[in-house]
């Protein structure tokens, strides 16, 4: 049961109280109990946010199926990894039904891993939904249809409405899979799809999916559905796994002390800067639990009162923040700012600056725990490259 459902139940219980004293007492107790559950959910970090490499897209609460695109979707259950396995099998089922090769499955899995971490999300940027983050307002189908993995996968391959699908992309079988994914999705971050290939191949092997499988359909056979154009309008970049810092936000450095800058922000986070700093301090050190391993981006979002950041990788959040709020290489962040490092790995690292040269971060002293440390310790201990800071805004959070 999610927070909206709990809230609705609490309100319903309260209304029933008007029907009699006995009902009033029972409903009030129920409402109080449910509200306490809601508050507990807001105060405790959701375990479903956790995933490897500082990824953070929140819990996957949509549906997965291996049935036809017109059928009723069955929910993918279990851990995030279990849901990914279920959804990967659902995608491959549609691929085989259409007579497509294992490479088509690979492209679809890489796309879904980037868009939704291969979870059937019922939320996203604006009205984006599902495995491929397709939008009802952009003619990809109704909300219910898009949340059916079979329907969404078929749309990805064949196209839907005015949207071309993978089968409409010229020479897709011979092109790098990341380029093909970008040609369909038209992302503002075209190089990110390719970075998921290794992970997706391992996941497919675990799920028993044969990515070397040949196909029986013609390479550009759309089956009479969707757009049939073969023009390459992808604007794709060469599909190589991107450097953790593709735009090189700052010159970084081998180390250096941090001093406090001044802030004049007007923010709309659930928590104010003083409240966020106080929360971070209260949940660090002896106050930390052990559930923060590789959850740096999740931690910063939760510090400011959000349930999730809506961004897959910590280092990518730098570029999600508006450019006028980015401060590449600057070592004078105001208290409350978000600090970024290139760790040499895809995800990078992010922490909350507390002021007086200190930052709150996971994993820096104890794996899985939050500690307060000197902000330059990430460079000294990990050999990380400092990239800069941003204003603590979360454009894709929820």
pLDDT tens digits along 16-71: 444 444 444 455 555 555 455 444 443 333 333 333 334 443 322 222 233 334 44
Q: Is residue 13 part of a domain?
A: yes
335 and 199 housed in the same domain: no
95 and 189 housed in the same domain: yes
The CATH code of the domain that includes 195 is 1.10.530
- Ramachandran angles phi, psi of 388, nearest 5°: 140, -170
85 and 136 housed in the same domain: yes
Give residue-wise pLDDT tens across range 374-397: 999 999 888 889 999 999 999 998
Q: Is residue 224 part of a domain?
A: no
What tokens does 7 get? 């809230």
Q: Which whole number is the average pLDDT over 219-244? A: 36
Q: Is residue 308 part of a domain?
A: yes
290 and 374 housed in the same domain: yes
- As a whole number of angstroms, the distance between CA 166 and CA 155 comes to 9
Q: Is the pLDDT of residue 170 over 50?
A: yes
8 and 71 housed in the same domain: no
145 and 115 housed in the same domain: yes
pTM for the predicted model, two decimal places: 0.44
Give residue-wise pLDDT tens across range 310-360: 888 888 899 999 999 999 999 999 999 999 999 888 788 999 999 999 999
Q: Is residue 238 part of a domain?
A: no
Domain region containing 10: 3-40
Number of domains in the chain: 3
Q: What's CA 296's distance to the chain center, in Å?
A: 13
What tokens does 156 get? 């990805």
Q: What's CA 9's distance to the chain center, in Å?
A: 28
What tokens does 47 get? 């375990």
Q: Is the pLDDT of residue 369 over 50?
A: yes
């Amino acid at each position: 049961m999610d927070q909206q459902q709990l809230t609705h139940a609490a309100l319903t219980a309260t209304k029933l109280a008007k029907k009699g004293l006995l009902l009033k007492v029972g409903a009030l107790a129920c409402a109080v109990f449910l509200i306490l559950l809601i508050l507990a959910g807001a105060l405790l970090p959701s375990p479903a946010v956790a995933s490897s490499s500082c990824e953070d897209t929140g819990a996957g609460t949509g549906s997965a199926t291996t049935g036809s695109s017109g059928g009723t979707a069955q929910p993918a259950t279990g851990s995030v990894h279990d849901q990914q396995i279920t959804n990967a099998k659902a995608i491959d089922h549609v691929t085989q039904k259409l007579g497509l090769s294992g490479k088509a499955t690979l492209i679809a899995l890489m796309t879904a891993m980037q868009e939704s971490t291969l979870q059937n999300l019922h939320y996203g940027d604006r009205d984006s939904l599902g495995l491929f983050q397709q939008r009802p307002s952009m003619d990809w189908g109704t909300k219910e249809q898009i949340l059916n993995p079979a329907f969404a996968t078929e749309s990805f391959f064949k196209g839907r409405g005015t949207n071309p699908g993978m089968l409409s992309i010229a020479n897709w079988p011979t092109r790098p899979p990341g380029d093909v994914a970008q040609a369909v999705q038209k992302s503002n971050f075209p190089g990110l799809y390719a970075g998921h290939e290794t992970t997706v191949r391992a996941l497919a092997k675990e799920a028993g999916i044969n990515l070397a499988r040949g196909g029986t359909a013609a390479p550009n056979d759309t089956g009479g559905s969707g757009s049939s154009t073969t023009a390459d309008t992808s604007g794709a970049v060469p599909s190589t796994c991107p450097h953790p810092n593709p735009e090189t936000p700052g010159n970084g450095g081998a180390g250096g002390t941090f001093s406090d800058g001044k802030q004049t922000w007007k923010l709309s986070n659930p928590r104010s800067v003083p409240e966020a700093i106080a929360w971070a301090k209260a949940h660090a050190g002896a106050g930390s639990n052990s559930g923060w391993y590789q959850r740096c981006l999740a931690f910063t979002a939760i510090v400011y009162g959000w349930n999730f950041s809506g961004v897959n990788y910590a280092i990518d959040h730098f570029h999600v923040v508006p450019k006028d709020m980015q401060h590449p290489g600057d070592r004078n962040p105001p208290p409350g700012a978000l600090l970024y490092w290139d760790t040499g790995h895809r995800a990078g690292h992010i922490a909350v600056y507390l002021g007086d040269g200190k930052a709150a971060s996971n994993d820096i002293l104890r794996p899985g725990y939050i500690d307060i440390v000197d902000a330059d310790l990430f460079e000294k201990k990990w050999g990380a490259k400092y990239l800069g800071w941003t204003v603590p805004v979360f454009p894709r959070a929820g």
